[in-house]
């Protein structure tokens, strides 16, 4: 008989854990997303922490490869490439051309201030040199498209966030991930070369080669692939599945090409996504399929399960410079000061952000995520490849600091919307309770108080001695009327003697007809016996005196 073997290797266990979690979360996805407004990325990160080496130890990525950093960097690279491609594809027709002022302001002044503020917080908290702090701050400066899509999609965003604001935040999160390279390499060149040589190398190596060449490659590739796909679709060469997956395969193609030539693959994918749907044809054809949202959900959940398992908890100890209190201070200050103040101060210069409420939302929801992990590992790779002794002091702390900030961003931004909605419900409940207490029996309402004042004035006019008497208890009950209500003025009715013409003669029987059954469909229209009658005007008032002829 054959023996039954149960494999407990992580290569067999981990896919089952991840797939089972995503399936179970999908079973109650409407409850978690549309009722509780819980972020899928937050739940995925918590699940990754539970099954990770710190709790159950069912998943330990450090044992999968001899170079854990390389595995994590490549995972984050491809996740970012696909996400920025999706961000570029979902933007409207010629969006970057129409909103170039808003995009440019967010990418240059706003992102530069976010970089400097993050670097200043890190410098003073960990007592680093400003150049080293600039390198770590460059990893945190970009907003993350993975977390941004999780915030900008769904019922809450569609109900409360204007479309123009969602579009500008999507464009910013897709573009500034690629522009994290110039900020990072500026600090690396200063550490490695110093002075004017570093600035010259940074200009021609980073801006002209990595950034400019990536933009050209992305724009040309997106244009050519769009024309080729449209021709193939018109000619009937491409099936539906291949048509829908063309943007994802294009992202994988560009990652491979840009990695070989050493350019900015993340920025290239975003530019290619915009060029691919520049005329809005591909976006319109795929917007009802749900493919983009499905890919975004699978990528974000899978990556943050992985991230929850690789958080270096052992690095946060009192013995080294990464003490828990310093980490908490850095996370709190970056959440509050990195982005929110600069957007509140400059939103009038950004056409797509029109009100201070828009600036408050855009300033708060600028999450730190996958891109920060990628750039922190790129920093370690550059220091190792060039054997930079000046960067050795930050090599062992950049990754733990960035992971702590990412953890804080996922946690804070994941619970913000549920807390806001809970606060609104509590406020509504307290308001309803206060209203019911105010209107309970025994309390004076404003209407009764007004009636009491009017009654007191009337009694004061009639008899000054009764003016100081206490009001009746009936005034202090809701809905109570005045004990001495003001009588309505009598209307002088005219008697039949004055208007004899209003006494009508008896009606003829033949002139009285039953109502037509077609006139009133919802009433009883059966014929009734109608007897002759007079139309009589009743008047109970005394007759007016006739004027004398004298």
d(CA 138, CA 73): 16
Closest CA to 452 of 430, 478, 483, 421: 483
Model pLDDT, residue 547? 53
Model pLDDT, residue 500? 46
Model pLDDT, residue 67? 83
Model pLDDT, residue 251? 94
Q: Is the pLDDT of residue 354 over 60?
A: yes
Highest mean pLDDT (candidates 19-28, 414-423, 445-454, 467-476)? 19-28
Model pLDDT, residue 254? 95
pLDDT, tens digit (0-9, with 9 covering 90-100), for 314-336: 999 877 788 899 999 999 999 99
Q: How many CB atoms lie within 10 A of CB 520?
A: 10
Model pLDDT, residue 523? 39
Q: At what angle do helices 265-276 and 163-178 cross, to 10 degrees?
A: 140
The residue-averaged pLDDT of 489-517 equals 47
Q: Is the pLDDT of residue 437 over 60?
A: no
Q: What is the DSSP string of 311-331?
A: --GGG--SSSS--HHHHHHHH
d(CA 315, CA 70): 19
Model pLDDT, residue 478? 44
Residues in the chain: 550
The residue-averaged pLDDT of 71-95 equals 93
Which pair of structure tokens corresponds to residue 262? 């050493």
d(CA 102, CA 111): 12
Model pLDDT, residue 451? 62
Which pair of structure tokens corresponds to residue 431? 């308001």
Q: Is the pLDDT of residue 530 over 70?
A: no
Is the model more confident about 70 or about 34?
70
Residues 6+ apart with CB under 8 A from 443: 476, 478
The residue-averaged pLDDT of 125-152 equals 90
DSSP 349: G
Q: pLDDT band at 81, cuts 50/70/90?
A: very high
Q: How many CB atoms lie within 10 A of CB 213?
A: 16
Model pLDDT, residue 497? 47
Q: Give burial (CB, 10 Å; 0-12/13-18/19+) of 119.
A: buried
Question: Are 264 and 184 spatial neighbours (Cβ–Cβ below 8 Å)?
Answer: no
d(CA 244, CA 238): 10
423-452 burial, b at 16+ Cβ within 10 Å, e below that, comes to eeeeeeeeeeeeeeeeeeeeeebeebeebb
* Percent of the chain residues topping a pLDDT of 90: 53
Question: Are 87 and 273 spatial neighbours (Cβ–Cβ below 8 Å)?
Answer: yes
Question: Are 544 and 497 spatial neighbours (Cβ–Cβ below 8 Å)?
Answer: no
Model pLDDT, residue 289? 82
Q: pLDDT band at 482, cuts 50/70/90?
A: very low
What mean pLDDT is reported for the chain?
81
pLDDT, tens digit (0-9, with 9 covering 90-100), for 4-15: 666 667 778 889
pLDDT, tens digit (0-9, with 9 covering 90-100), for 406-431: 999 999 988 888 787 777 666 666 66
Q: Is the pLDDT of residue 105 over 90?
A: yes
The residue-averaged pLDDT of 515-529 equals 43
Model pLDDT, residue 548? 52
Q: Is the pLDDT of residue 379 over 50?
A: yes
Residues 6+ apart with CB under 8 A from 98: 92
Q: How many CB atoms lie within 10 A of CB 261?
A: 12
């Amino acid at each position: 008989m054959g023996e039954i073997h149960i494999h407990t290797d992580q290569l067999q266990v981990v896919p089952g854990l991840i797939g089972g979690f995503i399936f179970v979360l999908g079973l109650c996805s409407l409850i978690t997303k549309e009722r509780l407004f819980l972020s899928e990325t937050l739940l995925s990160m918590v699940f990754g922490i539970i099954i990770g080496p710190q709790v159950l130890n069912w998943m330990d990525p450090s044992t999968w490869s001899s170079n854990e950093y390389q595995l994590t960097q490549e995972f984050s690279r491809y996740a970012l490439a696909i996400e920025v491609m999706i961000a570029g594809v979902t933007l409207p027709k010629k969006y970057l051309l129409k909103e170039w002022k808003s995009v440019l302001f967010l990418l240059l002044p706003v992102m530069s201030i976010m970089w400097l503020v993050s670097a200043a917080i890190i410098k003073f908290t960990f007592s680093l040199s400003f150049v080293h702090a600039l390198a770590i701050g460059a990893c945190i400066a970009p907003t993350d498209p993975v977390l941004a899509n999780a915030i900008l999609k769904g019922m809450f965003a569609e109900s409360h966030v204007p479309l123009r604001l969602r579009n500008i935040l999507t464009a910013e999160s897709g573009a500034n991930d690629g522009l994290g390279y110039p900020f990072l390499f500026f600090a690396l060149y200063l550490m490695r070369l110093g002075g004017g040589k570093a600035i010259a190398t940074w200009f021609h190596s980073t801006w002209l080669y990595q950034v400019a060449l990536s933009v050209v490659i992305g724009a040309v590739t997106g244009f050519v692939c769009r024309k080729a796909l449209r021709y193939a679709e018109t000619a009937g060469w491409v099936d539906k599945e291949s048509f829908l997956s063309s943007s994802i395969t294009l992202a994988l193609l560009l990652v491979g090409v840009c990695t070989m030539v050493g350019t900015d693959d993340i920025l290239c994918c975003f530019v290619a996504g915009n060029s691919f749907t520049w005329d809005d044809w591909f976006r319109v054809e795929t917007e009802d399929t749900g493919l983009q949202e499905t890919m975004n959900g699978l990528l974000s959940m899978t990556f943050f399960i992985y991230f929850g398992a690789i958080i270096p908890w052992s690095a946060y100890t009192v013995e080294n410079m990464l003490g828990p209190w310093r980490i908490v201070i850095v996370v709190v200050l970056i959440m509050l000061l990195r982005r929110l103040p600069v957007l509140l101060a400059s939103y009038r210069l950004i056409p797509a952000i029109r009100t201070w409420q828009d600036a408050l939302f855009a300033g708060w929801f600028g999450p730190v995520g996958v891109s920060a992990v990628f750039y922190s590992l790129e920093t370690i790779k550059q220091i190792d490849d060039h054997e930079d002794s000046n960067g050795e002091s930050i090599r062992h702390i950049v990754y733990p600091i960035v992971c702590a900030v990412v953890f804080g961003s996922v946690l804070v931004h994941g619970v913000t919307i549920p807390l806001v909605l809970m606060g609104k419900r509590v406020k509504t409940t307290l308001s309803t309770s206060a209203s019911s207490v105010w209107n309970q029996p025994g309390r004076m309402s404003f209407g009764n108080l007004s009636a009491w004042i009017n009654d007191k004035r009337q009694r004061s006019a009639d008899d000054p001695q009764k003016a100081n008497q206490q009001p009746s208890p009936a005034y202090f009950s809701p809905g109570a009327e005045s004990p001495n209500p003001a009588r309505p003025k009598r209307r002088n009715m005219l008697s039949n003697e004055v208007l004899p013409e209003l006494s009508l003669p008896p009606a003829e029987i033949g002139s009285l007809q039953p109502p037509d059954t077609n006139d009133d469909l919802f009433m009883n229209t059966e014929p009734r016996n109608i007897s002759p009658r007079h139309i009589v005007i009743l008047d109970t008032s005394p007759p007016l005196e006739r004027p004398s002829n004298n």
